[in-house]
Structures are given as structure tokens and as C-alpha cells.
């Protein structure tokens, strides 16, 4: 590491002289000798006089000076200004990383600090002076040092806006621990009369990792804002003054938590158990606006069946749920193992669980409104016939069937039910070694059946003088350079393209965004791919020709038998 004050000793001398010149020129600055802190950074302790107060501060030069600006901060953890990065943090001054130039010096930063502190002096009319901000502070910067955060969902905000002024109730808050920080979500409102309100936008799966705490909820009278009070007794006096009524179901005399709603939104107060103190909780409010394109609005009414929740299937299922698909049927009997984590959408919290169950939980966490139906079954394997029949019955009711197994026997079974029920089908494969993949579709009345589509792909490969690539688990292959193994990026690319084609099929876009119904997508220079992202579009042809008309006598006999079966069933 380059140590600037050694490699550029002249700059160090110039900085020291500029500070001494400033101290000799003004009467509000006192300096101590420069020192090194525990990290080897040059620091200068100083005192700034502003508003009849002495501010003990430290000017700290970063290791990357003069390419990065020095910082001015309290010598002890204190809150000095509305333009400060947390209690004890550095002051947000006129120059920062976004507009710093090397011609500026530490003395400029000290002068800026004095202007800030003087500008925020108490005003004769009350309050503090306002100093224009150099930039807007982000939510992340504001919350950096706040350990408790109230998360206000759009559903909760809409519910609170619909309630009358002065309304009060009991409620439930879900506290979720996250690395010594707590996200707090209002999940239930319990009024004295009427039904409980439950926030359906909060994932059910989140409850297993959180703790429920009771709270009192109060909609303030119109035009009244919740004050910032540090005294619990003052807060109780404010509540009495404005007619707060505790819900009759609340028998707890102690006031631990109070969730209020006013014209500025939600506020949560924590009352100290053994002191006359009350604490504000930081608020994180969901912003309005839909982040999905208009073409996705109808997806909530669509259903997709996905067979295979491995590396590709897990990513595909979660992507479709994020896009707004309202109903997913997941079929897989496999269990997540530690070695699966290199490519799967899941993480260590699901190791040992069935993949389909774990993916369903993952979907609940990212798209709580989605309905997920899970079948822990293996198709085209040694299962009871009735088991397979129930799974296939669920799949043939879906608007789209996806084969993410790359197993020929499963493909044949799904292709059969897709053709018989006139359902579109999509299948994808990641080639051994991860050098590429295949995405293909079959749509009734537009494309050949899945089996004929697969045959067309093989015929295309033969016309190029190559054999179709092998699909092996765990996506491994070898060449002259040694083993080739598909990584998470390889699987993600193919799964993402498959998700886009699936969404296009669900939207029944006309014309489709995909001119062809099969694509070979290259990720390496290998086989028929000359470079990464080299893609071959394959024309599969039109729909299958109509089959020979059925024998009228057989049709009549079959219809009679079917009616008899239905009559006996309903008897």
C-alpha cells in the first residue's frame, strides 16, 4: 500500500501549513499537533467555536489522499448536525467524494465544517437554521446505524389510510432478526369490533424466522402529527390530550409499543421498561408504482407446471413467480444436498429439504401472492400408477407445462399429456460442461408436437454434420483441456432465456417475440458454437397434420360407455 504522507511529503507539509495559516487567520479554530490513528491515518484534533459552543472535532485524512477528501467528525460520538452520517459520523460538507478535486485541502474542509455548524444556529423564531444539502441522503445512508426498522408495506399503508381519525386497536408486529438488526412488520390489526385485518403481502414463510410482539395502534386525529418526544411521560400526556383510547382487549397496563399513523405515515415508539424514555424506530416505507411491464398484468391468472426443481428448474420457477405468475405446480422428489448449492436457486437453509418444498418456500418469500402446489413425486419412475396419474392430472390443467429435467422418459410423458390436453410445452437443456444449452417450445396449432419438434432439432443437427450434444448430470464433460463443469452462470443464462420464452407463451403474444421455436445458445467456443452467445435459431415447421378420422361406430360406443360411467359415479 502506498503511504501518501511518505511518498508525497511535500503535500503533507503543505496541508500542515494551510491549517496553521487558517488558525492564525480566524478566531474560531484551535489546533493540536498532527498524529497517526490506529490505522496509520493522519489525523488532526481541533476545536471549532460556533454558536457560543466549542466543538471538539477530528480532521482525518484517508489512505487514498489526495485523491479522496479528508473527513471532519466529532472526536466523541455525538450528533451535531442534520448533515451528518449518523451519531458520531462525519459531517456532510460542501466537498465529498463526488466533487472533490486534489487542489482542495483539509483546511477547506475545516472551513466548511464551521460554516455548517454556524448556519444551523438556533433561530429567534424557534428551531434551527437550515443549511442547503450538497446532495440528497439515501435511505441506506440514513439507516446505516439504525438497528430497528419498521417496514411499512403498501397493503398496510392502504389499510391505515382507510381507517377513521382517532381509531385505535391492538396489533401484532413480526420482528425478524437479521445480523443484529431487526426488521419489524405490522402484520395484524385487531379492532374491538369487526374482523381482524391480516397483511397478506407479508410471506407466511417469514413467520418461521421471526417473533410476534403485541402493540397498540392509533390513527391520530386529522391534522395532528406525532411529536418527537424523548420522554415516555410526555408521550403519554400527548396521547391523553388527543383522546387516545386503549382497545378493550388490551389488559396490559404497561405501554411497551405504540404504532401511530398520521398525515406523515407510520411511526413506531418503544417505551423503556425501567426509565422515563421513549425511542423512535426508523421507518422503511414501500414506494408506489408497479415495477413489472404491462404485459405481465394478466399473469396472476395463469398457471405453470414445472417438472424438475434442480439447478435450472429452481431458477425458472422463482423467475416466473417474480414476473407475476399466480399459480405454479412443482414436481420433484429430489432432496437438496450441500453440493447442489453451487448452481441451485436455494441456499443452506434448505439443505436436507425436498427441493420442491424449498422452492415453494422461496417463492413465498419473493412473491407472497403466488399459489404453489407441490408434488414430491418422480415421473417416469417406479411410482404407483395412481400417484403418477394425480400428478399428470394437475399438470394437464396448467396453461403451460415445462420440462426442466432433461430426462428423455420424462419428456415423452409430458409431451404426451401436453398433446392430449392441447397444452403448450417448453423444454430446456444445459449441455454437459456448460458450453451451451437448448430452449424449445410446442404450441397447439402453431408448432409441431413436442416429439416431432425434438425430431426436427435432431434432423437439423444431422444436416450440420454433428450429433446432438449429451445432457449429463452434474453437467460435467471432458475435453483435451480436462474436465468441463457447468457453473451457476451457465445455468442462469439458459434458465433466464427459458423464462422469457415462457412469459411470451403465457402472454400469447402475436406475433411472438421469438420468431423460431427452438434455439441453441452457445456459452463457449465448442461444438457448433464459434464464440460465446453464438445462437442458432431452428425452424421446427408447422403443426402436425390432422390424424385419420375416428370410426363413427367406435366413437358412438365410447360415448355411450362414458355416459354410463358418469351416471354410475353420480348415483
Question: d(Cα 445, Cα 422) in Å, to the nearest integer?
Answer: 9
Region 30-55: what's the mean pLDDT?
95
Mean pLDDT score, 17-26: 96
Q: Which residue has the cell 423464462?
A: 499
φ and ψ at residue 303, rounded to 5 degrees: -125, 145
d(CA 242, CA 508): 57
428 has pLDDT over 80: yes
Is pLDDT above 70 for 554? no
Expressed in angstroms, the distance from the first to the final Cα of the chain is 87
Lowest average pLDDT, out of 37-51, 252-266, 416-430, goes to 252-266
Is the pLDDT at 560 greater than 60, yes or no?
A: yes
Q: What is the pLDDT of residues 11-20, one digit of tens each?
A: 999 999 999 9
Q: How confident is the model at residue 384 (pLDDT cuts 50, 70, 90)?
A: low
Partners of 354 in beta bridges:
335
**Does pLDDT of 36 surpass 90?**
yes
Q: What percent of the chain has pLDDT over 90?
A: 71
Cell numbers 444431422 correspond to: 462
Structure-derived torsion over alpha carbons of residues 240, 174, 146, 225, reported in degrees to the nearest 10: -30
How sure is the predictor about 419, in pLDDT bands with cuts at 50, 70 and 90? very high
Query: Considering only the top CATH level, what class is 294-471+484-538?
Result: alpha beta
- Model confidence at 160: pLDDT above 60: yes
Angle value at C-alpha 467, between 462 and 471, nearest 5 degrees: 135
According to the model, what pLDDT value does residue 475 have?
55
pLDDT band at 261 (very low <50, low <70, confident <90, very high): very high
Domain assignments of the chain as residue spans, ordered by start:
4-136, 142-285, 294-471+484-538
**Which helix (H) or strand (E) segment is 503 a member of?**
helix 488-507
Checking if the pLDDT of 531 tops 80, the result is yes
Q: Which range, of 108-117, 268-277, 377-386, averages the lowest pLDDT?
A: 377-386
Alpha-carbon torsion, ordered 242, 248, 250, 255, to 10 deg: 20
Nearest Cα residue to 320 out of 506, 488, 493, 450: 506
Task: Read off the C-alpha cell for 427.
Answer: 423444454
pLDDT band, very low/low/confident/very high, at 129 (cuts 50, 70, 90): confident
* Window from 252-266, 301-315, 494-508 with minimum mean pLDDT: 252-266
Asked if pLDDT for residue 215 goes beyond 60, the answer is yes
Q: What is the mean pLDDT of the chain?
A: 89
For 165, the enclosing helix (H) or strand (E) is: none
Give, as one character, the DSSP assignment of residue 85.
S
Average pLDDT over residues 557-565: 68
What is the structure's pLDDT at 563? 65
pLDDT bracket for residue 484 (50, 70, 90): low
Q: How far apart are CA 39 and CA 59, in angstroms?
A: 14
Question: Quick check: 557 pLDDT over 80?
Answer: no
Helices (H), 28-167: 106-119, 139-143, 154-161
pLDDT at 551: 64
pLDDT value at position 64?
93
Task: For residues 255-262, give the mean pLDDT.
Answer: 91
Using pLDDT thresholds of 50, 70 and 90, give the confidence band for residue 124. Answer: low
Asked whether residue 481 carries a pLDDT value surpassing 60, the answer given is no
Assess whether pLDDT exceeds 60 at residue 548: no
Residue 478, pLDDT score:
53
Whether 383 has a pLDDT exceeding 70, the answer reads no
CATH domain 4-136 topology? Ubiquitin Conjugating Enzyme (3.10.110)
Percent of the chain with pLDDT over 70: 89
pTM: 0.78
Range 142-285: architecture per CATH: 3-Layer(aba) Sandwich (3.40)
pLDDT band for position 387 (cuts 50, 70, 90): low
Q: Is the pLDDT of residue 288 over 80?
A: no
Position 452 pLDDT exceeds 90:
yes
- The pLDDT of 180-189, averaged and rounded, is 93
Residue 273 CA to residue 116 CA, distance in Å, equals 38
What is the grid cell recorded at 323? Answer: 414476473
Contact 109, 72 (CB under 8 A): yes
Amino acid at each position: 500500500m502506498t503511504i501518501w504522507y511518505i511518498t508525497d511529503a511535500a503535500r503533507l507539509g503543505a496541508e500542515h501549513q494551510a491549517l496553521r495559516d487558517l488558525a492564525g487567520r480566524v478566531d474560531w479554530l484551535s489546533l493540536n499537533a498532527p498524529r497517526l490513528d490506529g490505522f496509520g491515518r493522519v489525523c488532526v484534533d481541533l476545536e471549532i467555536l460556533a454558536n457560543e459552543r466549542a466543538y471538539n472535532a477530528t480532521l482525518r485524512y484517508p489512505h487514498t489522499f489526495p485523491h479522496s477528501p479528508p473527513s471532519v467528525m466529532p472526536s466523541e460520538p455525538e450528533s451535531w448536525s442534520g448533515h451528518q452520517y449518523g451519531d458520531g459520523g462525519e459531517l456532510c460538507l460542501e466537498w465529498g467524494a463526488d466533487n472533490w478535486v486534489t487542489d482542495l485541502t483539509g483546511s477547506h474542509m475545516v472551513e466548511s465544517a464551521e460554516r455548517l455548524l454556524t448556519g444551523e444556529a438556533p433561530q429567534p423564531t424557534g428551531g434551527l437554521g437550515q443549511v442547503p444539502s450538497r446532495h440528497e441522503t439515501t435511505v441506506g445512508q440514513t439507516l446505516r446505524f439504525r438497528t430497528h426498522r419498521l417496514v411499512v408495506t403498501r397493503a398496510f399503508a392502504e389499510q391505515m389510510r382507510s381507517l377513521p381519525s382517532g381509531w385505535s386497536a391492538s396489533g401484532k408486529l413480526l420482528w425478524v432478526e437479521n445480523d443484529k438488526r431487526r426488521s419489524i412488520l405490522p402484520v395484524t390489526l385487531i379492532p374491538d369490533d369487526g374482523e381482524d385485518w391480516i397483511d397478506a403481502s407479508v410471506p407466511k414463510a417469514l413467520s418461521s424466522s421471526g417473533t410476534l410482539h403485541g402493540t397498540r395502534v392509533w390513527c391520530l386525529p386529522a391534522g395532528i402529527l406525532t411529536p418527537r418526544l424523548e420522554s415516555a411521560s410526555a408521550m403519554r400526556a400527548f396521547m391523553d390530550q388527543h383522546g387516545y383510547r386503549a382497545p378493550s382487549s388490551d389488559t396490559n397496563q404497561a405501554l411497551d409499543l405504540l404504532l401511530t399513523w398520521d398525515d406523515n405515515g407510520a411511526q413506531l415508539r418503544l417505551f423503556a421498561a425501567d426509565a422515563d424514555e421513549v425511542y423512535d424506530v426508523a421507518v422503511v416505507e414501500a414506494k408506489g408504482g408497479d415495477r413489472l411491464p404491462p404485459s405481465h398484468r394478466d399473469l396472476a391468472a395463469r398457471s405453470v407446471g414445472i417438472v424438475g426443481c434442480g439447478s435450472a428448474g429452481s431458477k425458472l420457477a422463482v423467475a416466473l413467480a417474480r414476473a407475476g405468475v399466480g399459480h405454479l405446480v412443482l414436481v420433484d422428489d429430489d432432496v437438496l444436498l450441500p453440493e447442489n448449492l453451487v448452481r441451485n436457486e436455494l441456499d443452506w437453509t434448505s439443505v436436507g429439504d425436498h427441493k420442491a418444498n424449498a422452492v415453494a418456500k422461496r417463492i413465498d418469500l419473493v412473491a407472497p401472492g403466488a399459489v404453489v402446489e407441490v408434488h414430491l413425486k418422480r415421473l417416469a419412475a417406479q411410482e404407483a400408477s395412481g400417484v403418477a396419474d394425480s400428478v399428470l392430472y394437475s399438470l394437464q390443467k396448467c396453461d403451460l407445462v415445462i420440462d426442466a429435467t432433461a430426462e428423455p422418459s420424462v419428456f415423452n410423458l409430458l409431451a404426451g399429456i401436453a398433446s392430449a390436453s392441447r397444452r403448450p410445452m417448453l423444454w430446456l437443456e444445459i449441455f454437459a460442461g456448460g458450453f451451451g444449452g437448448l430452449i424449445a417450445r410446442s404450441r397447439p396449432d402453431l408448432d409441431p408436437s413436442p416429439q416431432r419438434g425434438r425430431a426436427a432439432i435432431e434432423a437439423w443437427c444431422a444436416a450440420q454434420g454433428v450429433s446432438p450434444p449429451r445432457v449429463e448430470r452434474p453437467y460435467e464433460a471432458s475435453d483435451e483441456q480436462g474436465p468441463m463443469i457447468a457453473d451457476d452462470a451457465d445455468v442462469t443464462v439458459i434458465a433466464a432465456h427459458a423464462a422469457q420464452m415462457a412469459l411470451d407463451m403465457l402472454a400469447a403474444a402475436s406475433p411472438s417475440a421469438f420468431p423460431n421455436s427452438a434455439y441453441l445458445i452457445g456459452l463457449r467456443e465448442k461444438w457448433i458454437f464459434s464464440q460465446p452467445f453464438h445462437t442458432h435459431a431452428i425452424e421446427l415447421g408447422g403443426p402436425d397434420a390432422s390424424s385419420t378420422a375416428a370410426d363413427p361406430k367406435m366413437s358412438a360406443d365410447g360415448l355411450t360407455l362414458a355416459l354410463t360411467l358418469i351416471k354410475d359415479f353420480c348415483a
